[in-house]
């Protein structure tokens, strides 16, 4: 659900959408399906729910649910969000944070959100390391105000998430307009999987929707291995729940990894033919900000002849374009090439980056390289679970390895 997360992450993503509901009612624990007999906690104790990458077991973000501020100030108050910021500071949580925020507070605009900005300033937190999970129903009359509020939050650096997908009263077309960074599937849906195939189909369709709009997906409240298997089958990478970490987990305990039950091993022989993962062939990437000029790229390529590509990245190190050395320099050397393009954005001359996840097998990566016949030998850009650039892989290295693998059989 680098599924990238901000960059202390690394940070990384859930939260349990339902669990973060700031409205009066059952405790967040019961909402997210986290209830555990015998667990004792003071009413004021916040919950720290790690967001886990299912592939590596790494904790990429922490959801903070301050249970003593869930109803403070009314539905339009950011008191619960402010309390989460302070609780994370007291706990010395260094990972990116996921914090609930009432939809009504976002609709309220800058005046309603001022306490949050002040709390962030006072605690020294950076907005790019905070994912605000919008929770609560949205009425048609508030739709535009909500989108304006989201634009304002995003403009100052916050990442946006929506919680409770599948059970919340939230128009799905609003997700397309809001373009959230993360969507959190309803804990109620996850709790009924895989025993209820209809709910499972609904959850799977939300995963497809998230992919279509470019959002990460978080599955909260995992309690059973059967639920974990279903989530993995849908292609979800980010999850949380008592199956992965106990309710008393704390970021200050220094546990950057948690135990993730192993998936059922593949029984097909085809899996053995795919070779090692691309991460084993990883080389450092030469990156420049996405708004760099063509002259900046020329300077980098001129300084080191061994550089085969320059990757343009955004502020979160996510690849925005790829500049192949040969094609770029040939273009710049053409008639009037330097005069026309040197001081203009290099992105005008960039190709879409050929992105592969760090867990992609070598053979599968070669298939990605071969999809565009004009760019077969372009460097592949390897990204982590949250979409951040980790480095590049040269296609020639993959070809040599696969050839060696075949000759040794």
Query: Once rounded to an integer, what is the mean pLDDT over residues 32-51?
Result: 58
pLDDT tens per residue, range 372-405: 888 999 999 999 888 899 999 999 988 888 777 6
pLDDT for residue 350: 93
Query: Once rounded to an integer, what is the mean pLDDT over residues 153-165?
Result: 92
pLDDT for residue 91: 87
Q: Is 2's pLDDT higher than 70?
A: no
Q: Is 39's pLDDT higher than 70?
A: no
Question: Residues 2, 371, 353, 275: is their CA dihedral positive or negative?
Answer: positive
Confidence of residue 367 (pLDDT cuts 50, 70, 90): confident
């Amino acid at each position: 659900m680098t599924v990238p997360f901000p960059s202390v992450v690394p940070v990384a993503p859930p939260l349990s959408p339902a669990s973060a509901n700031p409205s009066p009612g059952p405790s967040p624990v019961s909402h997210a399906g986290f209830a555990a007999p015998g667990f004792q906690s003071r009413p004021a104790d916040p919950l720290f729910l790690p967001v886990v990458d299912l592939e590596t077991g790494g904790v990429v973000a922490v959801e903070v649910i301050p249970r003593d501020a869930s109803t403070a100030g009314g539905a339009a108050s950011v008191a619960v969000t402010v309390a989460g910021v302070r609780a994370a500071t007291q706990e010395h949580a260094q990972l990116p944070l996921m914090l609930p925020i009432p939809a009504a507070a976002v609709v309220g605009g800058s005046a309603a959100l001022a306490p949050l900005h002040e709390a962030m300033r006072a605690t020294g937190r950076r907005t790019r390391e905070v994912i605000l999970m919008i929770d609560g129903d949205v009425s048609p009359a508030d739709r535009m105000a909500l989108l304006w509020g989201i634009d304002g939050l995003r403009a100052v650096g916050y990442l946006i998430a929506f919680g409770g997908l599948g059970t919340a009263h939230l128009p799905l077309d609003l997700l397309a307009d809001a373009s959230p960074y993360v969507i959190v599937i309803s804990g109620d849906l996850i709790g009924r999987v895989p025993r209820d195939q209809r709910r499972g189909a609904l959850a799977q369709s939300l995963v497809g929707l998230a992919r279509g709009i470019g959002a990460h997906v978080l599955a909260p409240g995992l309690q059973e291995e059967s639920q974990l298997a279903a989530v993995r089958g849908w292609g979800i990478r980010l999850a949380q729940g008592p199956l992965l970490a106990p309710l008393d987990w704390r970021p200050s305990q220094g546990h950057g990894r948690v135990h993730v039950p192993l998936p059922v091993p593949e029984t097909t022989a085809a899996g053995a033919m795919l070779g090692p993962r691309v991460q084993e062939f990883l080389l450092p990437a030469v990156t420049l900000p996405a708004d760099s000029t063509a002259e900046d790229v020329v300077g980098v390529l001129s300084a080191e002849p061994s550089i085969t590509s320059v990757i343009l990245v955004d502020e979160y190190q996510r690849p925005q374009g790829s500049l192949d050395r040969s094609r770029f320099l040939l273009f710049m050397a053409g008639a009037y090439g330097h005069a026309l393009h040197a001081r203009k954005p290099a992105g005008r001359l960039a190709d879409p980056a050929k992105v592969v996840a760090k867990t992609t097998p070598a053979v599968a990566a070669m298939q990605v390289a071969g999809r565009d016949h004009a760019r077969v030998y372009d460097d592949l850009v390897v990204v982590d679970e949250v979409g951040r650039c980790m480095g590049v892989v040269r296609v020639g290295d993959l070809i040599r390895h696969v050839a060696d693998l075949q000759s040794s059989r």
